[in-house]
Chains A and B, each alone.
Chain A
Amino acid sequence: MSIATPFHPRTSVLCTSLFWKEWAGHHAVRSYDTHHEPEYFAIRHAAALIDVSPLFKYDVSGPDAAAFLSRVMVRDIRKLKIGRVTYLCWCDDHGKVLDDGTVSRFAEQDFRVTSAEPALAWLSRQAGRFRVTIEDVSERIATLSLQGPRSRDILRDATDADLDALKFFGVTAATLRGIDVRLSRTGYTGDLGYEIWIHRDHALPVWDALMEVGEAHRITPVGLDAMDVSRIEAGFILNGVDYFSAHRCVVESRKSTPYEIGLGWTVNLEREPFVGQEALRLEKARGSRWAKVGLVIDWDEHEALFAKVGLPPQVPSAAWRTAVPVYDTGGRQVGQATSGAWSPTLKQNLALATVEAAYAAPGTALRMEVTVEFQRHRVTAVVTETPFFNPERKRA
């Protein structure tokens, strides 16, 4: 059974829809209202306050912390500067991805790892002779994601942080109404945004302060359904949906390498040995079997299928995550679309897909399965670079 996050006393009162889901063993709001769209627009136009406490968090410290993380992560963490965050993934010995997440460097010897799945055992197993301590702070640290064009204005009013100095993927300590917090310039929406890391004892006062200060900036509590649409627009993959952790795969064919899920750019191959390096080196040389791509589904064809049965075109109101087959133009299945959403901003029907590497070039026309009035059809879906939506403010 799921448990409550530290923000539950607030979120449970606000969630009048009673739409909840399970996220990493916690109750998480899908949408506060019965209709998630206003929440999506809060992310894109004002400010969204999202409880992301269920994320797994591990504090890694000690004289060898940087060397240790460099050994387990695909990135060379020794190069990560203090006050910076990096996005990456980590693999098993065969170069198959276990999870993706972030590593933040708070100090020379202090780091924090976030992950979608539990990682304590695996990290500890790799620790060996490295002089590090690994502490699971998942329960202790509550996390809020404050996303949207007004997020900076709110934090400027609510905290003492030098926000102009806090660049994209920066992290800093700050105080918020006398409470020690950490702010990182990160998020999962592809918009301007921050994540706020708080000791759980102070969770509610921080929530209250942000809601109070945020009112003038139209802050809105936002659930996971809205965030799911924004993450598809941003082209962000999701563990368990767009790929599967090697730890959870029964069959080899389900596993993926970083190159196959669009995270090849996070791999620093040429350096001291790290977990999975040999396998990744081989794959890099040999080429990958699969590639993660963005797809834009042809609207006119989609609409025509509906018109044929006398219906106006329909799109699911929320993001979907039931994989559907993707074919080449000759009708051979070359992969699957793993999640997708109608983008209210782009007015485009979007999907993220895993396809054979030969079909990954932007502009490649593929065919994706859609079901209209109980009948299966195929419509053109064009490989498109992600992020689909990439506003300047994201990095500003």
Chain B
Amino acid sequence: MAAAAGTPAKSTYDVIVVGGGHNGLTCAAYLAKAGRKVLVLERRHVVGGAAVSEELHPGFTFSVCSYIVSLFRPQIIRELELARHGLEIIPLESTFTPFPDGRSLARWADPERTRREIAAFSPKDADVYPEFGLTMSRLAHFAKHIIDRPPPDPTSFAPSDLLQLGAIGSLLRGTDRDLRFLNTKLMTMSAADFLDLWFESEHLKTPMSASGIIGTFLGVRSPGTAYVLLHHYMGEIDGAYRAWGFAKGGTGAVSEALASSAIAHGAEVVTEAPVQALRLTDGRTTGVVLENGTEIGAKVVVSSLDPHRTFFGLVGERNLDPAFVSQLRKFKLRGSSGKVNLAVDRVPEFTARPGDGMHIRGDISISPDFEYMERAYDDAKYGAFSRRPYMNIVIPTLTDPSVAPPGKHIVSIFVQYAPYHITEGPERWPEQRDAFGDAVLDTLEAYCPGLKSSILFKQVLTPWDLEKDFGLTEGNIFHGELSLEQLLFLRPTAGWSRYRTPIDRLWACGSGTHPGGGVMGAPGELAAKTLLRSGDA
């Protein structure tokens, strides 16, 4: 079943979901499953938002933006029967880091192999690595309690909040003192400093630290980046690596499966239907107005757009309380990354470890040492893209040949830093796009000679493009930075973390709500479940 383009079939619904990204669709599918009449309105001609697959070059289907399905909640796959609707996720098997000196490190799902790899750099670190993994898994165990529930409000005395806080408290009490101290360190330290507590080899620490900065405008030495490391240990259901994977057919397959499930449950999904504004009657949401002027009524509207687009775009500043507006203005979006997508005519060959073996089937990290990472950040701090950026690369065609012609490959390169606010102003990004793409490819060519000559097609996405084409304000891939002060009961703003908004009958379900970005589906799921319990819809 596919989404239809154009105009919705009816003039009123129980719920309208604005935005057909993966969270909007997750939310819609849950609401439809519960019997609500649901309409999803998507601006573009395809569903998916940033979780989209598009055939940009004949025969090559790209995961244009999101390239990895990270921590997608397994209960969503079960409850919405996404496998039946075509979703299959292939786990990432390894993380490979080539170094400029010709050495390389691959970390595998196989612990013995990983141990030998690390031992080549530091025998001590090789011993510590599984210990670290165990400790992180223990910490992650309780982080999971947090991501699968709406955040408790610590200032509230409502019984449900107290109960939930109590439950987290008792989980903490069940852990030992050392672990609690460590948890505090994790929450406050930088990724690099935290890893320094455990390991000596920078060859190991640098690629590990890199996961702490993805999508943030912070460096590996910036406080607060350590806790993101935890995300890598949350895939407990499927083991260490398996929660991170490729969707067969590209990341858009997640959205397509969600749309198919939503439609099967009775939801209507309409593409090419941009929403102009929320329809407010006496301060209460009564529907939406499309850009073509069509008005559609609903008891509740759920926005999956980021907080800026939801409130400044759909609602309009004049309808908002000034105090709320000033909180919202402080919500940090400031995109810091770009993307380069390549179609190539052969498997990229890394000098540090030639061949198309298992080592390049996972993700590939260009992160030679802390200094490199910090210098990359320095460029961004002063308003320029990194001349030598951090890159996270995947070659999905090695495990999912369905997305390219036989023997041809797709190389997906996540690039940081590419700050939205360049010195010249964000609107000048188009003039810098080629130079940015060249910086990426020149950097990579040093590790992968011949890559440039193998390119059949190239797409360079700057933060400006992410904003313009995918509706990500300031190009922020997570709808707002995943830094501590913007998480949990503070996401997107204090007091409005439970998917309700200050506007009556307007709810939010995008990555700008708890627990945040990544192709996780949790905001959409939790928003739907909270809304259903609320009695609003």
A interface residues, Cβ below 8 angstroms from B:
33-35, 37-38, 41, 44-46, 149-150, 153, 215-218, 299, 310-313, 315, 317, 344-348, 389
Report yes or no: B407 in contact with A216, Cβ–Cβ below 8 A: yes
Report yes or no: B88 in contact with A312, Cβ–Cβ below 8 A: no
Report yes or no: B401 in contact with A346, Cβ–Cβ below 8 A: no
Report yes or no: B407 in contact with A45, Cβ–Cβ below 8 A: no
Partner of A310, one of B112, B174, B238, B406: B174
With both chains docked as a complex, state the minimum distance between the C-beta of B224 and any C-beta of chain A, in angstroms.
25
Distance between Cα atoms of A150 and B397 in the complex (Å): 13
What per-residue 1/0 map shows which CB atoms of B107-119 lie under 8 Å from chain A?
0111011000000
Q: Which residue of B lies closest to A218 (CB)?
A: B401
With both chains docked as a complex, state the minimum distance between the C-beta of A205 and any C-beta of chain B, in angstroms.
22
Question: Which residues 98-137 in B have Cβ within 8 Å of A in the complex?
Answer: 108-110, 112-113, 137
What per-residue 1/0 map shows which CB atoms of B387-421 lie under 8 Å from chain A?
00000000001111110001100000000000000
Residue picked from B88, B93, B174, B361, most chain A C-beta under 10 Å: B88
Chain B residues in 8 Å Cβ range of A33: 110, 358
With both chains docked as a complex, state the minimum distance between the C-beta of A151 and any C-beta of chain B, in angstroms.
12
Q: Which residue of B lies closest to A388 (CB)?
A: B83
Chain A residues in 8 Å Cβ range of B339: none
What per-residue 1/0 map shows which CB atoms of B194-233 lie under 8 Å from chain A?
0000000000000000000000000000000000000000
With both chains docked as a complex, state the minimum distance between the C-beta of B359 and any C-beta of chain A, in angstroms.
12
Report yes or no: B90 in contact with A45, Cβ–Cβ below 8 A: yes
Question: Which residues 167-187 in B have Cβ within 8 Å of A in the complex?
Answer: 174
Distance between Cα atoms of A44 and B407 in the complex (Å): 19
Partner of A37, one of B75, B242, B401: B242
Residue picked from B78, B113, B140, B407, most chain A C-beta under 10 Å: B78
Report yes or no: A389 in contact with B248, Cβ–Cβ below 8 A: no
Report yes or no: A348 in contact with B361, Cβ–Cβ below 8 A: no
Q: A41-B399, A317-B239 are in contact. List 15 more A-B contacts (CB 8 A).
A: A35-B108, A41-B90, A44-B248, A45-B401, A46-B399, A46-B401, A217-B401, A218-B401, A299-B78, A310-B174, A312-B140, A344-B238, A344-B242, A348-B78, A389-B83
Report yes or no: B401 in contact with A347, Cβ–Cβ below 8 A: no
Report yes or no: A216 in contact with B236, Cβ–Cβ below 8 A: no
Listed from nearest, the 7 A-B pairs whose CB atoms lie closest are: A216-B406, A216-B407, A312-B236, A347-B74, A347-B77, A218-B401, A346-B83
Q: Assign chain B's interface to a size class.
A: 35 or more
Chain B residues in 8 Å Cβ range of A344: 89, 91, 238, 242
Task: Please list 29 pairs of residues, one from A and one from B, whose beta carbons are closer than 8 Å in the complex, sorted by A's number.
Answer: A33-B110, A35-B93, A35-B108, A35-B110, A37-B91, A37-B93, A37-B242, A38-B93, A38-B399, A41-B91, A44-B90, A45-B401, A46-B399, A46-B400, A216-B401, A216-B406, A216-B407, A299-B75, A310-B141, A312-B140, A313-B237, A315-B237, A317-B239, A344-B242, A345-B89, A346-B77, A346-B83, A347-B74, A347-B237
Chain B residues in 8 Å Cβ range of A346: 77-78, 83
What per-residue 1/0 map shows which CB atoms of B318-350 lie under 8 Å from chain A?
000000000000000000000000000000000
Distance between Cα atoms of A46 and B236 in the complex (Å): 26
Report yes or no: B402 in contact with A45, Cβ–Cβ below 8 A: yes
Distance between Cα atoms of A129 and B236 in the complex (Å): 62
Distance between Cα atoms of A344 and B399 in the complex (Å): 15
Report yes or no: B88 in contact with A45, Cβ–Cβ below 8 A: yes
With both chains docked as a complex, state the minimum distance between the C-beta of B102 and any C-beta of chain A, in angstroms.
24
Known A34-B113, A41-B91, A389-B83: A347·B242 in contact at CB below 8 Å: no
Distance between Cα atoms of A153 and B137 in the complex (Å): 42
Distance between Cα atoms of A217 and B144 in the complex (Å): 37
Distance between Cα atoms of A33 and B108 in the complex (Å): 12
